[in-house]
Each structure stands twice: as C-alpha cells, then as structure tokens.
Structure 1
Amino acid sequence: MPRRRPYPSGLSDARWELIEPTVTAWRAERRGRGLDIGRPPEHDLRRIMDAILHVDRTGIPWRYLPHDFAPWETVYGYFAAWQKDGVFDQLNGLLRRLVREREGRDAEPSACMLDAQSVKTSANVPAAGQGTDAGKKIAGRKRHIGVDTLGLLLAIWVTAASISDNAGGIHVLDRIASSHPRVTKAWSDTGYRTKVIDHGASLGIDVEVVRKDPAEKGFKVIPRRWVVERTFGWLMHHRRLARDYETHPHRSEAMINLAMVDLISRRLTRESTLNWRDT
C-alpha cells in the first residue's frame, strides 16, 4: 500500500515521539478500566492526532475532513474523549516543562501574565453562550489566559464576551494558583483592577498593572504585556481560532490547548511554524 502523502499540519516523527507516550498511556488506561473491551483498536493514534491537528490548523469543519483520515465521527469522538480526560492539558504541561528546562528555567514558573481576547463566534454557537464586549464592540466569546514569562500557556477560560476582564482574571488566577503554586507574581493591563489585585493577594500572588506612559504617542511595546500579546499572535496561526467555532466553551479551551501543543512541540524539535504568508 503506497504511503500517504503527509499534510503540512501533520506530526513529524520527532514531534510524535514527544506526544505518543501520553496518548498511548491514555488508551492503555481506558482498556484497564474496561472501556475498550472487544476487538483491538483499528485506528492509529498518530493518524487521529494528525486529523485533529488538521482541523485546528486549517479551520475546516469536522465533516470536511479529507477521506484519507478516519471518519470524522471517529476523529471527533477521540477529540471529545481527550478533552474530557485532560489529555491536551497533560500534553501542554509536559511540553511546557520541557521547553522551560531547555531554556535554563525551572520546570514550574514563578511569574505569569494575564490578558483576554474577544472573538466573534460562528452560527453554530448557542446564543446563551455568547455576549457582547462593550469596550471592543465584539459579539461572541472571550478567551481569558495566563502565560508564563516565555509566553507558554498556564491557564485558559473561555466565556461569553460580556464577562469582564476582572471576573476572568479572578478565575484564571484561581486556576494558576491551584496548578502552579510557585507563582507569586502576575502582570496585567489596565483592564484588571482592584478586585483582581485583591484576589491575587489573597492567593499569595502580587498582581501588578502595567500601564502605558500617557506621554508616549503611537505604538510602543509595553514591558511584560507584550509577552501575552505575542501568545495570542502565535495562536492565530491556527485558523480554527480565528473565530470561535465550538458549540461548547470547554471544546474551545481544548482547541487552544491543542494549538499550544502544536506550537511547543515544533519549538522543541526546532521545526518552523508556517504562517499563511509563506509560500
């Protein structure tokens, strides 16, 4: 049988070596719990991951997956199961620690940056899960994130766009404090006010608002804040994130975690992340 021609979104052998142990352990654990009793699995996990990355990278609907992948229902079933079982969170955490260690940092961060991004939604997103960001005049959803000083994702919370940055910041800080207890410092923009600062203090995290100098004219790179803005730019290499296409917010969070897994694994293997201007 001729070897399939790979898609640019697919995993290289080196990247698959980073991801394979986690998804293989997931399958073994399910079989250990009696959830996959019967005939041996017929779908190769690498091809399933390639298919999910193809959706995330190109932005196509699940039903439009090329036919040389497994049926779209099967691929989506794996995506939903991996989201529910925290596989994308595990991969993101594992690869983030590897990157930090290679950069000469401690595996666990001690500082973070907070920010939020409002995006429009597609027609399949329920109206109850949407809102309007009055400041940016965007109707849709909002992505509240926390990243480390390298711009690597620590926490994500997807809400209606009407949820304030303060409320999102409080929730993200709770997630960071729970998963990354070494974090004692956070930087944010002026959208995060007294409530976030007070809540951070209650968690042992010093939240500092970084303001632009009012005397400066035009565009200026703002210290600390540029790191998290760059992370949003990285994520936009994935067309599935140009809008929010997911019916459920937790699926949106999974797509963002998956995009970060794609980016970090390329960073570890020194593979470039092509953008849409590349030929």
Structure 2
Amino acid sequence: MWTIENRGRYDRSKLRYPSDLSDEEWAIVEPLIPAGKRGGGKRTVVLREVVNGLMYVLSTGCQWRAVPKDLPPRSTLFGYFDLWNWDGTLGRMHAELYVKCREAMGRQASPTAAIIDSQSVKSAEKGGLASTRAGMMRGKRSRARNGISLSIQ
C-alpha cells in the first residue's frame, strides 16, 4: 500500500534515470558480479554503469543503438550482457535477488504452491504449441470438395 513512508522508500527522482541502481541496490548486486579474468589488461569500464545500462535497456525496451550517450557504448553493454548470460551470472543474480525479495516479504525462499489453469493442461495434453496453432488457423477446403471444379476425361 502506498503510504508516506513507502513513497520515500521508492522515490527514484534523485537518480539520473529511474532504472539506475541506488547505492543500496548496488551493494546487493556488486558481490554477484564475477571478478575480471587473470591476465590481459585491467577493466576500463565501470561495472556499475554497465549494470545501469543493462537496466535501462530492460526497463525501457529500447534498441541497443538507442542507448543514451552518457551510458557505456552499446557494444560494451551487449558484450557484458552476452558474457553474463553465457556464464550464468544473470541467472545467479536473478536467483539471489528472488530469494532476497521473498525473504523480505516474510515468505519462504522457494514457493510451496503452484497454480495450473485447466486450459494449459488441455493444450499440453493435445500436443502443445503445434496443435494450438493448428486449432486457431482457418481450415482449408480441398479442391475435391469444391462443387465448381471440373473433371476432364
């Protein structure tokens, strides 16, 4: 429920973009990012800005080429997105944040119940996506059933 106390907690007006991480949020996310690989040059990019850039793309749904100039270049953002997706960093971040959110709400770390709607079960029994598509498409009539077609002998 929105109360005066909650409004202050969720106020993002002091951030550059509403999608940017606050200091509290960054303190939670930073330990989940793996250290740079040994050898080679040092990182020249600020990882917090990379995460802010990824959050901007995710929250606005903009194209990679439409990322604002004050965030890291789109090639850098996509490179980290691709790497973190490949090595499982994004999955680990999601799992960790999911558990923290549930615990903050006073719930168990993993859900104990699930809801399955009967329509989902029916379509899965019939064969899933392919049969759903076939059921939604318009039926085709064969030429043999068409009364106009002529037979030539």
TM-score computed with the length of structure 2 as normaliser: 0.65
The residue aligned with 1:48 is 50
Judged with a 3 Å threshold, the aligned counterparts in structure 2 of structure 1 residues 194 and 66 are, in CA distance, closer, same or farther, namely: closer
Q: 2:120 aligns with which of 173, 186, 192?
A: 192
Which runs of no fewer than 5 residues in structure 2 stay unpaired?
1-14, 126-153
1:93 Cα deviation from its structure 2 partner: 0.9
- Are 2:35 and 1:27 equivalent residues in the alignment? yes
Aligned partner of residue 20 in structure 1, secondary structure: helix
Aligned-pair identity in percent equals 32
In structure 1, what residue type is equivalent to 2:77? V
Q: What is the CA-CA distance between 1:43 and the residue it aligns to? A: 0.4
Deviation at 1:105, TM superposition (A): 2.0
Residue type at the aligned position of 2:17: Y
TM-score, L = length of structure 1? 0.37
1:19-40: CA deviation from partner (whole Å, max 9, x where unpaired): 11001xx134xx1xx4xx2221
Q: After the TM superposition, which segments of 4 or more aligned residues of structure 1 sit over 4 Å from their partners?
A: 194-197
Distance in 1, Cα, partners of 2:93 & 2:81: 13
Structure 2: how far apart are the matches of 1:83 and 1:111? Answer: 28
Offset of residue 192 of structure 1: 2.1
Shift, 1:102, TM fit: 2.2
**What's the CA shift string for 1:124-174, capped at 9, x where partnerless?**
xxxxxxxxxxxxxxxxxxxxxxxxxxxxxxxxxxxxxxxxxxxxxxxxxxx
Residue 17 of structure 2 aligns to a residue whose secondary structure is coil
Match of residue 76 from structure 1: 78
Q: Could you tell me which amino acid in structure 2 is paired with residue 39 of structure 1?
A: G
Q: CA deviation at 1:42?
A: 0.4
CA 1:190–1:65 in 2, change beyond 3 Å: closer, same or farther? Answer: same
Alignment match, 1:155:
none
What is the distance in 2 between the residues matched to 1:60 and 1:194? 36
Higher relative contact order (CA 8 A, sep 6+): 1
The aligned residue for residue 20 of structure 2 is 10
More strand, by proportion: 1
**Higher helix fraction (1 or 2):** 2
SS at match of 1:39: coil
**Structure 2 counterpart of 1:17, which letter?**
A
Query: Which residue number corresponds to residue 67 of structure 2?
Result: 65
Looking at structure 1, the residues matched to 42 and 54 of structure 2 have their Cα atoms a distance apart, in angstroms, of 22
- The aligned runs of 1:119-268 (5 Å cut-off) are 187-193=115-121
- Structure 1: distance between partners of 2:65 and 2:35: 24
In the alignment, which of 77, 100, 103 is matched to residue 101 of structure 1? Answer: 103
Encode CA deviations 1:217-240: one digit per residue, 9 max, x unaligned: xxxxxxxxxxxxxxxxxxxxxxxx
2:119 alignment partner, SS class? coil
1:203-222 CA-to-partner distances (Å, cap 9, x unmatched) read xxxxxxxxxxxxxxxxxxxx
Paired positions, count: 111
Runs (5+) with no aligned partner, structure 1? 113-186, 198-279
Q: 2 CA distance for matches of 1:9 and 1:194? A: 39
Match of 1:128 in 2: none
1:49 Cα deviation after fit: 0.5
